Structure 1
Amino acid sequence: MESEARPEPQSTADLSDSSDGEGITAARVLQEIENAWLNEKFAPEILPHQSDFVDCMLQQISHMEDNMQKLKKTDLRFTVHKMEIDRIRFVIASYLRTRLEKIEQFAISILSDEAKRPPDEGYLTPGELKFAKEYVANIETLFTSIALQYMPRQFQAFDTKQLMLKPNLLAHVFLRVNRDVKGIALPGTNEIIDLDAGTQHILPYQPIASLLKEGAVRLI
């Protein structure tokens, strides 16, 4: 008697999307999320969100979990795919948590910068924007309440901008170059350098910020 064939859970290498004429695998999406996670983790400022990749991978996780239900828990494939799902969840959770921590730290500055961008070029997701606004509103309510209760009348006026913190864009970062870049001017010096693809450097963040957002470099 032939053994019953069991379907293989879909892994991160099995997803494809030909909506743009070219296939994009789930493995490629995961790589993009991991790059976004490390970039966000090491960049001093908040970066443009990568919610499309996150949503795509969450859907892939759901599909993998559905397929895993067709396997026995004693099957080695079940264990392997569970470990893979746990790893993906960790990366996504850390990426989103890092962004929220930056919003909490630089909320006023982030909202100020976000207001200057066209709606379709915003760095925050709608949920993050709502969170940032509510966070600042709660701070205003708290400090206004404290001022009215404990401060002399002449000091009761409260300006939110007094609490504005800005990220240190001159902080040094460790980066890998994805493609050749010419003519990078280093702040505070007269030095201009070229970055060759595949090389690694420690540089101030400010002159490579736009390169990071364009994908010419990535942080490590």
Structure 2
Amino acid sequence: MTLKTLESNLQRVKTGDAKASVHRMEIDRIRYVLSSYLRSRLLKIEKFFPHVLEKERSRAEGQPPLLSPEEFAFAKEYYASTETYLKAVALKRMPSNLQTVDMLKAVPEPCLDSFVFLRVKERQENIFVEPETDDQREYVVDLEEGSQHLMRYRTIAPLVSSGAVQLI
């Protein structure tokens, strides 16, 4: 059910009905959560734009895109704007041997060792978990369908790509 469908259903409810105000609050809550999610994605794209574009361009044929067409266009435009700004403000005033910038080296890479919450959609066996410290030994875990975990992103990145787990 889409947000537009919910709003059109709300239009059919009588004006003084108590259900209408509850439904309106729920629609506003959904709109806020979606906006917050999209804002968060755009901030990540802005922060790591060259790496995001490189990963999107180097994905294998037939692999689903990581970005929506609008996000991909935003990332390309942000890259071009940043490059134009750097050239106009700083690079043209530098010596000729320093007038180019490799954006992949200039912008920090995303930290793949940060911890993320995940929900298992398909049972996974023998997932190798790296230790946090040298005192801990390495171990293997089985992820049961429907279970939730807190793990390093690097460990479960292939499972996210395949759709076996979902970030929450």
Same fold per superposition (TM over 0.5): yes
Query: What amino acid sits opposite 1:78 in the alignment?
Result: A
Cα contact 1:108–1:165 (8 A) shared by 2? no
Mapped pair 1:169 → 2:112? yes
Cα contact 1:103–1:132 (8 A) shared by 2? yes
| Shift in alpha-carbon separation, 1:121–1:175, aligned structure 2, 3 A | closer
Structure-1 residue corresponding to 2:42: 100
Structure-1 residue corresponding to 2:68: 125
Alignment deviations for residues 30-78 of structure 1 (CA, whole Å, 9 cap, x no partner): xxxxxxxxxxxxxxxxxxxxxxxxxxx2xxx222322322333321121
Structure-1 residue corresponding to 2:79: 136
Query: What amino acid sits opposite 1:108 in the alignment?
Result: P
Q: How far off its partner does 1:119 sit?
A: 6.8
Cα contact 1:103–1:110 (8 A) shared by 2? yes
Name the Cα RMSD after superposition: 2.4
- The gaps in structure 1 that reach 5 residues or longer are 1-25, 27-56
- The gaps in structure 2 that reach 5 residues or longer are 132-136
Return the alpha-carbon distance in structure 2 between the equivalents of residues 68 and 87 of structure 1: 15
Of the candidates 80, 88, 91, which is equivalent to residue 147 of structure 1?
91
Equivalences, count: 161
User: What secondary structure sits across from 2:48 in the alignment?
Assistant: helix
Structure-2 residue corresponding to 1:183: 126
Structure with greater strand share of residues: 2
Return the alpha-carbon distance in structure 2 between the equivalents of residues 128 and 210 of structure 1: 22
> Runs (4+) of structure 1 moved beyond 6 Å?
none
Q: How far off its partner does 1:184 sit?
A: 0.7
Query: What amino acid sits opposite 1:95 in the alignment?
Result: Y
Of the candidates 154, 161, 165, which is equivalent to residue 217 of structure 1?
165
